[in-house]
């Protein structure tokens, strides 16, 4: 196992320390229980937006804490749900009196632990709502998931709902907008290689020299099919077809196209993927009105990519364009 | 070889097409000869800032074209110098009458081809100056290089000089500032794994399961030493020691600390590297006043990292903070 780490036990903690050292103007890190929180939290009268999940998907979620996006993020151990105490303390830390929204990716542990934290926070008088992200069209159920997994749409939801909260939307409005983002977003991923979870020390799954996994999950969960390596064009066609027919997206739609690297994929390849996706969308009369290209929801050093399409309307477009200033996503500020 | 590409021959061209499709608001791509150019070039009265080099280091340089950074970038084949015709045509395309500065990484082919392009442009009446970046402290000479290699400081120079030009600095001022950045910047890299150049189809170099290369070049050129894998703490100590003693940096200095991923390194590891670097700087009385953390000068999917320290003064700090809006680097705009 080749990694730039000190000990397996300290990976998450020391990475958080690095974030705290680098971004003290934007965030603070609370330890034990661990969470990343906006430096200016709590903000009186603003809905708090929280997410969290296993570590290993950086910059998600801690890198999205800041102005116009998340108020706090709760990192679990690598590929392991955070515990309820993390979400409870984060919820209390960002509570400005207007309630707190939990953005939860659909994995059984995450859902259960966020629910428990919400109950505990409500018992302390904090209004909490939750939205589940389940945008992965690859498989119906999966390892650790009943129903569809939550993947790339999470990033877009955190940006869009964060902008709504920053603009003064109340908890019901934030919940409505988050639900709309989930309803309008569809994703699918693929892997060329596995990643290595530090505590395991060996690849999560084995792929042959000429194989790839289509529909892979962000923890290396099995996808739809394992097949012989194909060209970028054929791979994007398979993923785009699955995504486009699922919503379904239709001619005349405006979309946000998100081409995401899994952590070990060079940017030069992500632009080739984007190029193929743009051609497919153009041929179907779908306009890519906004885009995001890069490593935003990763799986450690996995080589591969995912595609997310989000159907845009005026409200979602305006909120996407709103200023954001976090360690990993920044514009207009 | 596992890559998201169509054919080996089309990697650079199709990636440029993807960039053009995504970022038409910021850049245009000219083909044959290939270069990426600001959508609003030429800008009358502004010094044009150009860089270029082999592809495979994305987002450098094409991702840095835009407001407040480069006016054009010339991508060669992967790890291969661009040809003079690219730099000549790019120089003409960005010439707004105030001259053009070439930012050249110190590799023999790059230096020679940029020189030839400058002579050709001058023969057409365009004033051209050039600054060579040679910030890599690892080795004196290297494959394809007489003297030190140009690495991470290039990214910082492009941002800082781009801001100066955007603010109206003339060619002599831009050249002076670029030279200062090079004089104040020092870098060193390391690799856990090799990358695979598509046209070769196999790793550029072989590293054992428990080996790493300290001082590696951005094309996989040999570094100072190949040694047994160590902890992130020990690795950063080795690199920081080499960098700090070279300028030398001293107690009381303000620096920009740039922790760069080589392409295949997860962000969670880069923050561990940053954490170790921050501790070393603090112990030596050096203040990290600014930072940059992420994949900015890469080597395809190589796993590894580089560290660059740039000694800041008020002028460099102000220019670093100035607004920038490019595909890969954006703030204040």
DSSP state of B136: B
A151 & A233 share domain: no
B179 & B217 share domain: no
> Which residues of B does the annotation mark as catalytic?
57, 219
Rounded to the nearest integer, the mean pLDDT of chain B is 97
- Checking if the pLDDT of B333 tops 90, the result is no
- Checking if the pLDDT of A143 tops 90, the result is no
- Considering the domain boundaries, does residue A97 fall inside one? yes
Contact map slice: B 163-182 vs A, CB within 8 A:
none
A157 & A18 share domain: yes
Judged by CB atoms closer than 8 Å, whether chains meet at B268 and A11 is answered as: yes
User: Which of B139, B156, B184 is at the close of a domain?
Assistant: B184
B194 & B180 share domain: no
Closest CA to B47 of B151, B190, B174: B174
Structural domain boundaries, residue B101: 11-184
B205 & B302 share domain: yes
- Considering the domain boundaries, does residue B107 fall inside one? yes
B190 & B156 share domain: no
Per-residue pLDDT tens over the stretch A88-137: 999 999 999 999 999 999 999 999 999 999 999 999 999 999 999 999 99
Read out DSSP for B240-255? HHHHHTTTT--TT-EE
Per-residue pLDDT tens over the stretch A145-202: 899 999 999 999 999 999 999 999 999 999 999 999 999 999 999 999 999 999 999 9
What residues in A contact B298, CB-CB < 8 Å?
Answer: 266-267
Rounded to the nearest integer, the mean pLDDT of chain A is 97
B180 & B249 share domain: no
Per-residue pLDDT tens over the stretch B89-99: 999 999 999 99
Strand order in the sheet with B287-294: B225-228, B211-214, B185-191, B304-311, B254-261, B287-294
Determine contact, residues A191/A119, Cβ cutoff 8 Å. Answer: no
- Checking if the pLDDT of A82 tops 90, the result is yes
Name the β-bridge partners of B78.
B55
Per-residue pLDDT tens over the stretch A208-260: 999 999 999 999 999 999 999 999 999 999 999 999 999 999 999 999 999 99
Contact map slice: B 74-133 vs A, CB within 8 A:
none
Q: Would the pTM count as exceeding 0.80? A: yes
User: Which of A184, A201, A224 is at the close of a domain?
Assistant: A184
User: Which of A156, A184, A212 is at the close of a domain?
Assistant: A184
What residues in B contact A58, CB-CB < 8 Å?
Answer: 266-268, 271
Instruction: Tell whether B298 lies on the interface with A, counting CB pairs under 8 A.
Output: yes
Instruction: Tell whether A230 lies on the interface with B, counting CB pairs under 8 A.
Output: no
A201 & A211 share domain: yes
CATH of the domain at A31: 3.40.50.10440
Q: Nearest CA to CA, how far is B267 from chain A (Å)?
A: 6
Judged by CB atoms closer than 8 Å, whether chains meet at A18 and B275 is answered as: yes
A102 & A197 share domain: no
Specify the pLDDT at position B143: 85
Q: Nearest CA to CA, how far is B274 from chain A (Å)?
A: 6
B219 & B284 share domain: yes
Give the chain B residue nearest A56 (alpha carbons): B268
Contact map slice: A 38-67 vs B, CB within 8 A:
55-56, 58-59, 63
Q: What would the two tokens of residue B25 be? A: 């608001």
- Considering the domain boundaries, does residue B68 fall inside one? yes
Rounded average pLDDT over B220-237? 96
B73 & B141 share domain: yes
Percent of chain A whose predicted confidence (pLDDT) is above 70: 100
- Considering the domain boundaries, does residue A197 fall inside one? yes
Closest CA to B145 of B238, B81, B74: B81
B160 & B38 share domain: yes
Q: Which residues of A221-247 are buried (b: 16+ CB within 10 A; e: fewer)?
A: bebbebeebbbbbebbbbbbebbbeeb
- Considering the domain boundaries, does residue B89 fall inside one? yes
Q: How confident is the model at residue B48 (pLDDT cuts 50, 70, 90)?
A: very high
- Considering the domain boundaries, does residue B1 fall inside one? no
Per-residue pLDDT tens over the stretch B282-307: 999 999 999 999 999 999 999 999 99
Q: Is B323 left (phi over 0), alpha (psi -120 to 50) or beta?
A: beta
Per-residue pLDDT tens over the stretch A18-35: 999 999 999 999 999 999
Cα–Cα distance, A166 to A88 (Å, whole number): 22
Closest CA to B231 of A1, A7, A195, A19: A7
Instruction: Tell whether B18 lies on the interface with A, counting CB pairs under 8 A.
Output: yes
Report ipTM for this prediction. Answer: 0.98
Q: Nearest CA to CA, how far is B126 from chain A (Å)?
A: 32
Residue with the two structure tokens 């690495």: B151
- Considering the domain boundaries, does residue A241 fall inside one? yes
Specify the pLDDT at position A72: 98
Within chain A, how many helices (H) and strands (E) appear? 8, 14
Q: How confident is the model at residue B142 (pLDDT cuts 50, 70, 90)?
A: confident
CATH of the domain at B288: 3.30.1180.20
Specify the pLDDT at position A69: 98
What residues in A contact B62, CB-CB < 8 Å?
Answer: none
Cα–Cα distance, B300 to A299 (Å, whole number): 18
Q: Which residues of B88-108 are buried (b: 16+ CB within 10 A; e: fewer)?
A: bbbbbbbbbebbbbbbbbbbe
Judged by CB atoms closer than 8 Å, whether chains meet at B192 and A3 is answered as: yes
Specify the pLDDT at position B4: 98
Helices B267-283 and B232-244: crossing angle in degrees, nearest 10, is 50
Q: What would the two tokens of residue A297 be? A: 């929801």
Q: What would the two tokens of residue A146 be? A: 């009943």
Judged by CB atoms closer than 8 Å, whether chains meet at B303 and A265 is answered as: no
Number of domains in chain B: 2
- Checking if the pLDDT of A141 tops 90, the result is no
Per-residue pLDDT tens over the stretch B302-332: 999 999 999 999 999 999 999 999 999 999 9
- Considering the domain boundaries, does residue B330 fall inside one? no
Specify the pLDDT at position A58: 98
Instruction: Tell whether A1 lies on the interface with B, counting CB pairs under 8 A.
Output: no
């Amino acid at each position: 196992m080749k990694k730039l780490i000190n000990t397996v036990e300290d990976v998450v903690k020391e990475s958080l320390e690095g974030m705290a050292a680098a971004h003290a103007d934007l965030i603070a890190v609370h330890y034990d229980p661990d969470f990343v929180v906006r430096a200016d939290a709590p903000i009186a009268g603003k809905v708090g937006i929280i997410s969290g999940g296993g570590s290993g998907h950086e910059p998600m979620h801690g890198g999205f804490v800041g102005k116009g996006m998340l108020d706090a993020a709760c990192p679990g151990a690598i590929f392991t749900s955070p515990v309820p105490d993390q979400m409870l303390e984060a919820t209390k830390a960002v509570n400005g009196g207007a309630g707190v929204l939990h953005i939860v990716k659909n994995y059984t542990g995450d859902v259960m632990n966020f629910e428990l934290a919400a109950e505990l926070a409500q018992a302390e008088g904090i209004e909490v709502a939750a939205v589940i992200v389940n945008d992965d069209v690859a498989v119906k159920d999966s390892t650790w998931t009943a129903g569809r997994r939550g993947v790339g749409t999470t990033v877009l939801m955190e940006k869009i709902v964060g902008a709504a909260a920053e603009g003064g939307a109340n908890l019901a409005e934030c919940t409505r907008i988050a639900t709309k983002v989930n309803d309008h977003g569809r994703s699918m991923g693929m892997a060329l290689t596995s990643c290595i979870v530090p505590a395991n020390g060996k690849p999560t799954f084995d792929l042959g020299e000429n194989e790839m996994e289509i529909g892979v999950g962000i923890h290396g969960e099995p996808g739809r099919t394992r097949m012989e390596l194909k060209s970028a064009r054929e791979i994007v066609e398979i993923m785009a077809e699955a995504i486009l027919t699922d919503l379904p997206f239709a001619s005349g739609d405006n979309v946000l196209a998100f081409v995401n690297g899994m952590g070990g994929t060079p940017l030069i390849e992500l632009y080739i993927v984007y190029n193929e996706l743009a051609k497919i969308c153009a041929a179907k009369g779908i306009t890519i009105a906004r885009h995001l290209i890069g490593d935003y929801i990763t799986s450690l050093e996995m080589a591969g990519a995912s595609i997310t399409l989000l159907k845009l309307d005026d409200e979602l477009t305006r909120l996407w364009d709103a200023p954001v200033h976090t360690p990993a996503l920044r514009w207009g500020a």
